[in-house]
Amino acid sequence: MNLAQLERKLIAAAQANPPSDRVPYAFEKRVMARLAARPVVDDWALWARALWRAAAPCVAIMLLLGAWSLFVSRSSTSASDLSQDLEKTLLAAVDQDQPSDSAW
């Protein structure tokens, strides 16, 4: 289809139907009422909804990792306990014999 011919037809149709000067009754009030009726976007609600949706996967991951750590600790052949290893490491400096004539 020829675009120039289509444009001429559309312009002729628009000129044949001139717009009316009459505005519908209370048009501006209806427009303002629709604008006021639109809900306001609440950013805090969006954040809260996203965090609540993320809570379930986080709990699932926590449970899986907790079960995995219990399974690994029970199935390991070494009798070493992580809490005992940590305590020995932290208290290693205290257990060493310190000379009594220290400068401190």
The tokens describing 102, both together, are: 């220290």
Of the candidates 73, 70, 52, 74, the one whose C-alpha atom is nearest the C-alpha of residue 62 is 70
What pLDDT, on the 0 to 100 scale, is given for residue 94? 77
Residues 53, 57, 63, 69: is their CA dihedral positive or negative?
Answer: negative
What pLDDT, on the 0 to 100 scale, is given for residue 58? 96
Q: Is residue 48 part of a domain?
A: yes
pLDDT (tens, 9 = 90+) of the chain, 104 residues, equals: 688 999 999 999 988 887 777 878 888 899 889 888 888 888 999 999 999 999 999 999 999 999 988 888 776 655 567 777 888 888 887 766 665 555 55
Q: Is residue 47 part of a domain?
A: yes
How many domains, in total, are found in the chain? 1
Q: Is residue 53 part of a domain?
A: yes
Q: Is residue 32 part of a domain?
A: no
The tokens describing 63, both together, are: 């449970």
pTM > 0.75: yes or no: no
